[in-house]
A and B are shown apart, each in its own frame.
Chain A
């Protein structure tokens, strides 16, 4: 017997089915398949006749020396993520606060500031790569001509190359946070500020006690998303550093996976590494969401 509730909702389930089937095809099936091959020896020599070999690929990820080293890349990935998201949020929220004021030409500024987000990432990455050129790049020209400082060899040294990637991604990422924060700001009822004005609150007190707490439920999911995206942002690192240059020292975990899978056909190993990345991100997101109590209602 079909329960009364199911009967009542059957139409809704039907409407959901196509989306669900697509999800199975493009998300669940590849995901399960990835987990399966992470336990296999699938590589150049065993592409069709692969076998399950247990945890050997995971062992290799953690304990076998790789070139470059897994733990070094892991730390770099954390630095990459934290620095990027920190600047995305700070710059984004600061700009949103400014744009939320009644200033002249607000819509023009807003449009200009969203621009980085609207340009395809490839174009941005390759343009910035050109700007970081030692002799001909815009950045060194500014440093040398207007600041009278020696030029920086951005793409030749590991630290500078990594910094170049971060700068590019900061520029690229803040508009998203700005748009989200702007939306959040506009949904804060004006009465709260009026009440605070009557109480004689100063600007900073209003920001601290009204704006930021009420922005939190909007910003936390955005930050979580931002962290996951940044952690997995292959394009920028790959294109700005030209595939990890110099000397494979500008990798984050995903670009390392990409290289393992598609350059050297090590599918099993790459799958294991991507499962590790997934678990890191899953644990982090759960903990972060839990800690910030974002799922609880604020009003």
Chain B
């Protein structure tokens, strides 16, 4: 009988003490981010440097894919857990703010410090600052293969003209071997530049969808024509196919974001980056959505840890760190001072990228944007399938967006 008692004791001892969670360690800072691999490497370098300066602090950076990060963070933060810092594009601020799971930052940093940033890097929502970015952009631009194209197109007409010239069927099998233009054109985010080029925008000031209009109809028609009438884009292209074709030199131009440019250089393509063309009939430039990527602080953080996290942020957002990242990855830094460096100021890709950002439109941070994408995607694809006319699709996009926003907000 003694044996059984002993066993019971040992068992409960193991159960309760062996499995007890590690106490919240104030010297351990966790970051969740969605940085791609080359950005991750640089972040790790920065963190290593930081931990060398502060040997008592341990910083752990955990990668999660954008959507997983978003849903995972919501679930964790609502349960009172989650990382201390969450890093991602600015459009996640909307839902996070509505759910009250990130801290307002304007009182945590002095004003003169915040003034050192490009204003586009500071994401305000409902009057409070919720994110400070270390990279600007996340924007689409026109990337061209210098071997195939001398001068990038400046208007839609030139785009078509150059596209037609490059699209060639070498072996006569009725399938071009080189395309003028490729991009992930079935995804609405990649259609936005043309929608704006024809004069449209997704939301009005009251965050109501604005999709049923001439601009959308003309934009949809334009994409359809690029494929069916001018035949300068492949019949089917998703992100990976477009990316692969460009990397293999089988496409003259690609519309892709700043995250991809370094990979084209690595693939041995001599690239140029140009702002997206102007639509001649409207006189407007194709304007991509621009969104900063940066850090927000979990609202569950305790006071003791907060000061340490702020100190880490000062380090990560420092000019030196940003200069190094910009040089390595061709991404636009957010601290104004970085532009004092000659090699940043004179970098051609960065110059054009910055021009594209100026012509771009800030991505809305409101949660309604989710519903807009979900309403645009099926109808946009229905136009490309030939199931719907652009007129019908524009109408249905608007109807579906309103329905989804209502469902989301009920």
Contact = CB atoms under 8 A, between A and B. Distances in A.
Interface of A: 10-11, 14, 17-18, 21, 41, 43-45, 47-48, 67, 130, 133-136, 153, 155-157, 242, 245-249, 259, 261-266, 269
Contacts of A44: 95, 98-99, 367, 408-409
A153 B236 contact: yes
Given A248-B378, A262-B70, 19 more contacts: A11-B4, A14-B7, A18-B15, A43-B409, A44-B98, A44-B99, A44-B408, A44-B409, A45-B409, A47-B99, A67-B400, A67-B404, A135-B175, A245-B377, A247-B377, A259-B374, A264-B371, A264-B404, A265-B74
Nearest to A262: B71
Contacts of B95: 44, 265
B15 A21 contact: yes
B379 A264 contact: no
A48 B100 contact: yes
B314 interface: no
Interface stretch (B54-62, B304-312, B380-388): B380-388
Q: Main SS of the interface on chain A?
A: loop
Nearest to B409: A45
B116 interface: no
A136 B4 contact: no
A33 B100 CA distance: 22
Nearest to A64: B407
A99 to B, nearest CB: 36
Interface in B345-388: 367, 370-371, 374, 377-379, 381-382, 384-385, 387
B234 interface: yes
A155 B370 contact: no
Interface residues of B, number: 42
Interface string B8-52: 100100010000000000000000000000000000000000000
A264 B385 contact: no
A258 to B, nearest CB: 10
B321 to A, nearest CB: 33
A73 to B, nearest CB: 13
The 5 A-B pairs at the shortest CB distance, nearest first, are namely A247-B378, A134-B236, A246-B381, A248-B378, A262-B71
A10 B8 CA distance: 10
Given A246-B381, A247-B379, A247-B385, A43 B241 contact: no
Nearest to B94: A44
A247 B388 CA distance: 11
Most chain B beta carbons < 10 A, residue from A155, A157, A265: A265
B174 to A, nearest CB: 11
B282 interface: no
Contacts of A249: 378
Contacts of B382: 246-247
A14 B379 contact: no
B107 interface: no
A17 B12 CA distance: 10
14 contacts: A11-B7, A14-B7, A43-B409, A45-B98, A47-B78, A67-B403, A136-B241, A156-B235, A246-B382, A246-B385, A247-B377, A247-B382, A259-B374, A263-B374
A43 B405 CA distance: 12
Contacts of A21: 15
A248 B404 CA distance: 14
Nearest to B236: A134
A259 B4 CA distance: 52
A130 B410 CA distance: 39
A262 B95 CA distance: 12
Nearest to B234: A135
A264 B78 contact: no
Contacts of B384: 156, 246
Nearest to A248: B378
B67 interface: yes
B408 A135 contact: no
A130 B240 contact: yes
B161 interface: no
B282 to A, nearest CB: 28
Contacts of A245: 186, 377, 381
B354 to A, nearest CB: 32
B325 to A, nearest CB: 29
B107 to A, nearest CB: 23
Nearest to A154: B236
B238 interface: yes
Given A44-B95, A247-B379, A133 B241 contact: yes
Contacts of A242: 238
